[in-house]
Structure 1
Amino acid sequence: MSPRSASVNEELRRRSRERLLGATVELVAERGYEATTLADIADRAGTARGLVSYYFPGKRRLLQSAVHRLMHLELAAALERPPRARDGRERLARAIDAVLGLARDRPLLMRTHMAGILQEDGFLQCPDQQRLAHLLRDTMARYGSADPESDYRLLRALLMGAVVAVLLPGAPMPVERLRAELFRRYGLDWELGVPPGPSPREGFDTPAR
């Protein structure tokens, strides 16, 4: 049997890494961070335990990469959902809805992710985060930003703050109110994206851009 080519080996490594990321999201969402071990993740992914350490320098970094990959996939799916959004305002609305939707639908996972970012190791700029950043930066460019890089960073900060507000133990804010505030800031009509319900008309006056 002839040895595998470099391209085949690279594809196998990519698949192994993606299985580990997917297993991490599943297990942390089911059990929480502390109850999930690297051995559990390897077992769920169907890979050798040593591969986890080969690809990732620890569980915290693995979780950040896994959540960034999930966010990238969710955002990409939202932007490409038929009918495909070409208008910058529609794309920005879909981006906001995708991120707020993760906080609403996967609270344990996203709360764990946000808590990890605030710890000593901080924010991880991994390949998965960079893909997510590219989509958000491109969204701001299509929205009409004169400085997509700076405006992407501001959008990221606003979305992170909104996610924390949704997940804040004991004092969560409703997604609808946070969405309304973000839409107002960017001059977006409530009907864009995927509205979570009727427009909260009280106090929701969308400014003209």
Structure 2
Amino acid sequence: MSPRSASVNEELRRRSKERLLQAAVELVGERGFEATTLGDIADRAGSARGLVSYYFPGKRQLVQSAVHRLMHRTLEEALEREPRTEDGRERMARAIDAILGLARDRPVLMRQHMAGLLQAEGFVPCPEQRRLAELLRDTVARHGSRDVDSDYPMLRALLMGAVYAALVPGVPMPVPVLRAELFKRYRLDWELGVPPDTEGPGGRGDTDLSRFFATGTPTDQATGTPTDQATGTSADQETEHPTGTPTAPATDYATGTLTDRATDSPTDPTTDHATGTAPGRAPEVQP
């Protein structure tokens, strides 16, 4: 069989990462952070456990990236939905409603995300977060800010505070009350955006997240072989390493360590083929 082209291998790697992001969002939303293992995420994505460690340093980083993807794509969808508008007040209203809508519609996921930000490692910068920041900065600028560098962090803080207040166990504040306060601060009419008594796109009951994650099936133009959507591989290849090389499913490529997929616990270290020595320590895989 002829080898796949470099462009197809690159597409497979991209889609493999997309599946991991989508699986992380789905599982943490269903079970919570602690009850979701990296092995669970790999299984849901149809990927080898080693691919998770190749793309992400740990579970916390993977989940933060996945939630930031969901946030930035939700925000982007809200800002660009029909009828499209350049009006700064309407765009600010849509932005507020999009973020509060995530707290309302995906409370488990967003509660776990907020809790993760309060951990020792705190906020983990990533490309997904940067895209979210760009959209919010643009929203602030279009709303008429004269000092975006000061007003953007304030909007971010207010939105994070509102999400936190909506999700505090036992004493959550109603989303409409939080919306009213934010709308008052930014001098927005209640009818702008998506008022709580209306149903907007991607609102309650929308469980299909596939539109936010490009996980379709590419075809190798050189060989004409469709790749498998569940595994990212062609029919005669079991596992696709990010470099295009078939590998054992449970090898951690970042450390050369074999990992038990059932427990996410490292087994006896294997030899690091890059150095000819055993790795110094296993990767951190705790929740």
Q: Same fold (TM over 0.5)?
A: yes
Question: What amino acid sits opposite 1:30 in the alignment?
Answer: E
Matches of 1:6 and 1:149, distance apart in 2: 41
Residue 65 (structure 1) aligns with: 65
For normalisation by structure 1, the TM-score amounts to 0.91
Aligned 1:37-48 pairs, distance under 5 A: 37-48=37-48
Instruction: Give the 3-state SS of the residue equivalent to 2:120 in structure 1.
Output: coil
Greater mean alpha carbon deviation, residues 9-18 or residues 89-98: 9-18
Matches of 1:148 and 1:85, distance apart in 2: 20
Question: What amino acid sits opposite 1:56 in the alignment?
Answer: F
Structure whose residues are more often helix by fraction = 1
Matched, 1:136 2:132: no
Matched, 1:176 2:176: yes
Return the offset for 1:3.
3.9
Return the offset for 1:34.
1.2
Question: What amino acid sits opposite 1:147 in the alignment?
Answer: D
CA shift digits 1:41-82 (9 cap, x unpaired): 011111111000001111111110000000011001101110
Q: Measured at CA, do residues 7 and 150 of structure 1 come closer, stay the same or move farther in structure 2, by a change above 3 Å?
A: farther
Instruction: Give the 3-state SS of the residue equivalent to 2:62 in structure 1.
Output: helix
Matched, 1:163 2:163: yes
Question: What amino acid sits opposite 2:140 in the alignment?
Answer: M
Question: What amino acid sits opposite 1:42 in the alignment?
Answer: A
Aligned 1:1-209 pairs, distance under 5 A: 1-197=1-197
Residue 202 (structure 1) aligns with: none
Matches of 1:28 and 1:6, distance apart in 2: 33
Matches of 1:140 and 1:7, distance apart in 2: 38
Matches of 2:169 and 2:87, distance apart in 1: 36
Residue 273 (structure 2) aligns with: none
CA shift digits 1:122-153 (9 cap, x unpaired): 10110000000011111111111112232111
Residue correspondences, number: 198
Greater mean alpha carbon deviation, residues 141-150 or residues 74-83: 141-150
Question: What amino acid sits opposite 1:189 in the alignment?
Answer: D
Matches of 1:24 and 1:158, distance apart in 2: 26
Question: What amino acid sits opposite 1:14 in the alignment?
Answer: R
Matches of 2:151 and 2:4, distance apart in 1: 45
> Aligned-residue CA RMSD in angstroms?
1.3
CA shift digits 1:96-118 (9 cap, x unpaired): 00000000111010000000001
Return the offset for 1:10.
2.4
Work out which of the two has the higher radius of gyration on C-alpha atoms and give 1 or 2. 2
**Stretches of structure 1 lacking an aligned partner (at least 5 in a row):** 199-209
Matches of 1:144 and 1:11, distance apart in 2: 40
Instruction: Give the 3-state SS of the residue equivalent to 1:13 in structure 2.
Output: helix
Matches of 2:12 and 2:169, distance apart in 1: 41
Matches of 1:127 and 1:57, distance apart in 2: 14
